[in-house]
A and B are shown apart, each in its own frame.
Chain A
Amino acid sequence: MGIELNRRRFLSVTASVAGLAATGGLLSACGGGAQQKTGANSDALKSALPNYVPSSAIKADIPSVAGGPDILTDPGFLTYPSNPVTTVSGIPGKGGKYTTVTPLWGTIPSADNSFYQAMNEALGVTLEMKPADGNNYATIIPTMTAAKRLPDWIQLPSWWNANFNVGELAGSQLADLTPFLSGDKIKKYPNLAAIPTGAWQAGAWGDKIYGIPSFSSGFVFAGAVSFRHDLLEAKGITADQVKSADDLMNLGKELTDAKGGVWAFDDLWTYMFPAWGVPQKWKVDNGKLVHKYDMPELLEALEWHYNVATAGYLHPDAMAGNNADGNVRFYAGKTVIVGHGAGGWNASDHQSGTAANPNYRRAYFDFFTADGKGEPRIEIGASSRILSYLNSNLKPEQIEELLAVADYLAAPYGSAEYTLINFGVEGVHHTMVNGVPTATEEGKKNVQPQTFPFLASPASVISNPGSDVVTKDYTAWQAANVKHLKKPVFWNMNISLPRSMATADAAQAVEDAIKDCYHGKKKVSEVKDAITTWKSSGGGDKMVQWMDENVLQKFGTGQ
């Protein structure tokens, strides 16, 4: 996965939550060869991980709700904190000069612009920022690592771990941060210490810490089934009427009016299949590892989606595979219920929606099971999927300098540092309008959310200045559903799959067949055939066996 990562899918990762991207399970976020570092669940690692020291610098308007160990909703902020507090005393850097490479989906700011200058001054280092086209990042980085020309500081999103062979780069080209951060040593960097332990584990290879997590969260989910609250309300339908897949199917029939240009559904599959108890990728049954392709529940789920498509409840453009205009259809009310990636429920969604229809209001259904019985089980994703790494050529004092810079970048939401990093200098890049930092022309040109925060950032919060309804709805939904979140098999574990199994793991052919099936183009039996082929000549069975022997039996489930 991930090669064709599009902007929409990317947003689901960065905007506020590091979610599991559409097609990916955890395994696809794994490294290279069998001989390399695997595991990240050993006792040695547990002792290496940094201690968690939550920050009390800034109080949230809507506090987090815990749902279990490591599972926590994101705090909500209704207003941007006035009189921002400073969390870093003095200037972190000592005048070093470093290059950084980060992916950027959008316009690349010009080099050496006023924002970079302001940041460098505040950081006390010269960071030569080199954002690279996010759409080509998957091919750019492998050439760089093969040429052994990594910059001093680089962002390697974990959904590309296999592509970039991070498992092997860790230790050979990427610096081991364990000596600087493990245990209580991290207290030297209070803002880094306030990043939950799980996120550091997501950047661990072997028994050591390598990655610096950005956008970490305790509520990481792929997405959910979303609907137009305003449209359903107008018809007198409430969300709690949908308690099973059958309910949803009936609703689909009721809402679809093909002649009127309205279809009940856009693509649902990616965020809906967990309702049938299908995991993102793995399940352990009687101590044995089972791939989701081997589960009859997968075919049941597909059958339902196939029926939705062939019954004509799915928007024809969605059936044709046009996802790019999915939001446009939703805003225009041409679709009413859509699968929606995590992170996409935010202020810009609200603004676009209300621009099309002033009554626009998005909402999510509470998680439900397909048959309406039992407890829904939603697997959480890795605590961070945006991880930056330091070059192993750096001297220890340089690493310390950059960690101090990272500490500055990880300053909590609403702090003075956060304001500078995300909105630039007041009066130059932003002005405060109704208590909300608002970009000036200069700010619009040069302040990019995908530059410095991609090197390090604090744990995610939910904040949508100017769209309070989103913050309130979203935090309430998270709080109501946090109890359904469960850790999947191999949670936060970085697994290095042998290179030869990468194709079997990606299982592109099966994924393609599944896509055709929920678009009504292929029957479930054809998916079954694709899976059979994948198991034998596609190397699927071998891969499952390898995972069972080398990961499950050695390191356990990580749950």
Chain B
Amino acid sequence: MSSVDTEPPARKNKLSLRVRLRRDRSLLLMTVPAVALLLVFNYVPLFGLLTAFQDYNPLVGVWNSEWVGLAQFEALFGDSLFWGSLTNTLYLSFVQLILFFPIPIALALLLNSVLSERLRNLIQSIAYLPHFFSWVLAITIFQQMFGGAGLLNQFLRSNDISTWDIMTNPDTFVLLITSQAIWKEAGWSIIVFLAALAAINTDLYESSAVDGAGRWRRLWHITLPGMAGVIMLMLVLRLGNALTVGFEQFLIQRQAVGHEAADVLDTFAFYYGIATNNYSYGAAAGLFKSVISLLLIWGANKLAHAFGEDGLYRK
């Protein structure tokens, strides 16, 4: 919360509330539309979390549904599909951390070493273009390239090599998901790291070079420490979001690879909440995810603090 409070010098606050209200009425009025929308579409639905402790029946509403205590959670923890989707989520998170996370850092270093600013900007603009694509579009493009009727198999077929459909293979789904994520988002993620690189004082490099430090030593002793803060921040964000691996990406591809490979916590809550008419069950799964996620954010911050970094919020 710290940054929110670091503000320009305050107006005088010693005036009476009435005077201040009069003075700031325009300002207050300006916040009304946003606050109203948030109240209606974010705060009112919070009551929906109550349904996790019910056997909620949408036909009779929240107040008339039966209260069942923790029964939904008991059922949830006895459901191997739930554990399957949790395992999938964590596994995907882990694989993305290993395969995805280092890529933008490496690309940022590489791009930063390009001397021509125009070339650098051009490459960057192209690399983060897919960030603005929808998942429908991104997956459609993958399908056209790697699907059963896609470019790759078209090539394999015309050369009489047996085809290989990665789009419907549950065993390699994790790699598919990760490569899609990398394709779509890695270019965008570069930006933060580039900013961090730009912020490193060049004098440090110069004096270090004068002292005889080579390319790799400078990378190790100046560049990486200079990026450490941002890397740690992104890592903490990633860990805190370990249970969020995407929703639409899985929703669209679930049918092709089957639920065993494609169900993550978010799609589990959707499919077993809405599509089996078991709203409370879905709500319980959602609440479970939220609580664990909050714990993860808190834990990740502790970790960051232990490394002497800020994390999301300062100590």
Contacts and interface: CB of A to CB of B under 8 A. Distances in A.
A169 B57 CA distance: 11
B260 A3 contact: no
Nearest to B68: A500
Contact of A499 (B170, B255, B275, B277): B277
A146 B80 contact: no
A533 B80 contact: yes
A135 B253 CA distance: 12
A536 B74 CA distance: 12
Contact of A135 (B169, B255, B274, B279): B255
A501 B255 CA distance: 25
Contacts of A33: 55, 57
Contact of B55 (A499, A506, A512): A499
Contacts of B57: 32-33, 168, 499
A168 B59 contact: yes
Given A321-B170, A537-B78, A538-B78, A143 B255 contact: no
Interface string A411-452: 000000000000000000000000000000000000000000
A164 B276 CA distance: 7
Nearest to B279: A146
Interface string B63-83: 000001001100101111100
Contacts of A321: 170, 258
A492 B71 CA distance: 31
A139 B274 contact: yes
Nearest to B260: A512
Interface in B22-67: 55, 57-59
Tell me the dominant secondary structure on chain B's binding face: helix
Interface in B186-245: none
Interface in A144-174: 145-146, 162-165, 168-169, 172-173
A99 interface: no
A503 B272 contact: yes
Interface string B253-283: 0110011100000000011101111111100
B275 A3 contact: yes
Nearest to B58: A146
Given A499-B55, A500-B71, A512-B260, A538 B80 contact: yes
B168 interface: yes
Contacts of A138: 275
Contacts of A169: 59
A4 B168 CA distance: 14
B148 to A, nearest CB: 9
Nearest to B84: A509
A173 B270 CA distance: 23
Interface string A517-539: 00000000000001001001111
A163 B280 CA distance: 14
Interface string B276-306: 1111110000000000000000000000000
Contact of B79 (A4, A324, A503, A512): A503
A502 interface: yes
A68 interface: no
A506 B81 CA distance: 11
B59 A163 contact: no
A322 interface: yes
A138 B274 CA distance: 9
Contact of B75 (A3, A145, A539): A539
A142 B270 CA distance: 11
A390 to B, nearest CB: 18
A110 interface: no
Contacts of A172: 59
Contact of B259 (A4, A142, A324): A4
A377 B93 CA distance: 49
A142 B275 contact: yes
A508 interface: yes
A319 to B, nearest CB: 12
B80 A509 contact: yes
Interface in B164-178: 168-170
A158 to B, nearest CB: 14
Interface string A167-187: 011001100000000000000
Given A143-B274, A168-B57, A538-B78, A503 B258 contact: no
Contacts of A146: 58, 279
Nearest to A165: B277
Nearest to B274: A142
A142 B277 contact: yes
Contacts of A533: 80
B123 to A, nearest CB: 39
Contacts of B55: 33, 498-500
B80 A324 contact: no
A144 to B, nearest CB: 11
B78 A499 contact: no
Interface in B142-189: 168-170
Nearest to B80: A509
A324 B276 contact: no
B165 to A, nearest CB: 8
A230 to B, nearest CB: 27
Contact of B278 (A502, A538, A539): A502
Contacts of A500: 55, 68, 71-72, 75
A169 B277 CA distance: 12
A506 B68 contact: no
A505 to B, nearest CB: 10
Interface in A310-345: 320-322, 324
Contacts of B278: 499, 502-503
A503 B58 contact: no
Nearest to A501: B75
A491 to B, nearest CB: 24
Contact of A164 (B78, B254, B277): B277
A498 B58 CA distance: 15
Contacts of A320: 169
Contacts of A173: 59
A135 B170 CA distance: 19
Contacts of B272: 503
Contacts of A536: 78
B225 to A, nearest CB: 49
A33 B65 CA distance: 11
A165 B81 CA distance: 22
Nearest to B254: A4
A503 B75 contact: yes
Nearest to A512: B260
B144 to A, nearest CB: 18
A322 B272 CA distance: 24
A134 to B, nearest CB: 12
Contacts of B168: 322, 324
A139 B78 contact: no
B275 A139 contact: yes
Interface string A457-492: 000000000000000000000000000000000000
Given A135-B255, A168-B57, A168-B59, A509 B275 contact: no
Nearest to B77: A537
B255 A4 contact: yes
Nearest to A169: B59
17 contacts: A3-B275, A6-B255, A32-B277, A33-B57, A139-B271, A139-B274, A142-B275, A172-B59, A322-B168, A499-B55, A499-B57, A499-B280, A500-B55, A502-B278, A509-B81, A530-B80, A536-B78
Interface of A: 3-4, 6, 32-33, 135, 138-139, 142-143, 145-146, 162-165, 168-169, 172-173, 320-322, 324, 498-500, 502-503, 506, 508-509, 512, 530, 533, 536-539
Q: 8 nearest interchain CB pairs?
A: A537-B78, A509-B80, A146-B58, A165-B277, A139-B275, A138-B275, A142-B274, A508-B81
Given A537-B77, A538-B80, 4 more contacts: A3-B259, A173-B59, A499-B280, A503-B75
